[in-house]
Amino acid sequence: MNPASNLILVGPMGAGKTCIGKRLAERFGLRLLDADREIEQRTGASVAAIFEHEGEAGFRARESAVLAELLADDGLLLATGGGAVLAEDNRRLLRERGYVVQLLVSVEQQLERLALDRSRPLLARGDREQVLQQLALTRAPLYAQVADLRFDTGAMSAADAALKLALELDLHWRRPPPSSSVSGVNA
């Protein structure tokens, strides 16, 4: 059991990291941060624009820097981008700084959930199903490598998935007690 103060959600696009994360953050009293939104706020540009101007390598460098900065803190729920696990340093950081939940979703469910989404640069390259299958082949083992818990979001709504995942977390995740400013006092 990983007694981490941070809760980190990893998984492919469309798995529900942000939607489920909002509900879990509220339930556990954590500060919600979405890594992609943080990058956009800091750069003043969308993820798509960063991909267009700096390429995927430029985006991944920004992503690694933001993850390191965000995970220096405690008491947060971090919804990562789908590719955050690609860099070994990121995987090490995720394992060290949080309790990591891998959200699972089938390619068919991703296609359904992302049908109207035109903001994701990796889905702008041709056949969406083929792209999602290739991403799954590459990334699924990396998600599993960092995960303390795996949770299938399946055909559930975000609300139902968050409720069921919260129950699982109650069983498996032990947050360390908050630091006390009073030391050396016996109760």
Binding residue ranges for substrate: 36, 60, 82, 139
What confidence tens digit (pLDDT) does each residue in 10-58 have? Answer: 999 989 999 999 999 999 999 999 999 999 999 999 998 999 999 999 9
Instruction: Collapse the DSSP code of 10 into the 3-class scheme (helix H, G, I; strand E, B; otherwise coil) and give the result.
Output: strand
pLDDT of residue 70: 97
CA distance 172 to 20: 18
Q: Please give the share of the chain, as a percent, with pLDDT higher than 90.
A: 76
Q: How confident is the model at residue 186 (pLDDT cuts 50, 70, 90)?
A: very low
Binding residue ranges for Mg(2+): 18
pLDDT of residue 111: 84
Q: Which two tokens stand for residue 131?
A: 């792209």
Q: How confident is the model at residue 185 (pLDDT cuts 50, 70, 90)?
A: very low
List, in order, residues 6 or more apart from 182 with CB less than 8 Å away.
Answer: none
Binding residue ranges: 14-19, 36, 60, 82, 120, 139
- CATH superfamily name and code, 7-172: P-loop containing nucleotide triphosphate hydrolases (3.40.50.300)
Domain ranges across the chain = 7-172
**Mean pLDDT score of the chain:** 90
Binding residue ranges for ATP: 14-19, 120
pLDDT of residue 117: 75
The candidate with the shortest Cα–Cα distance to 80, out of 162, 143, 30, 9, is 9
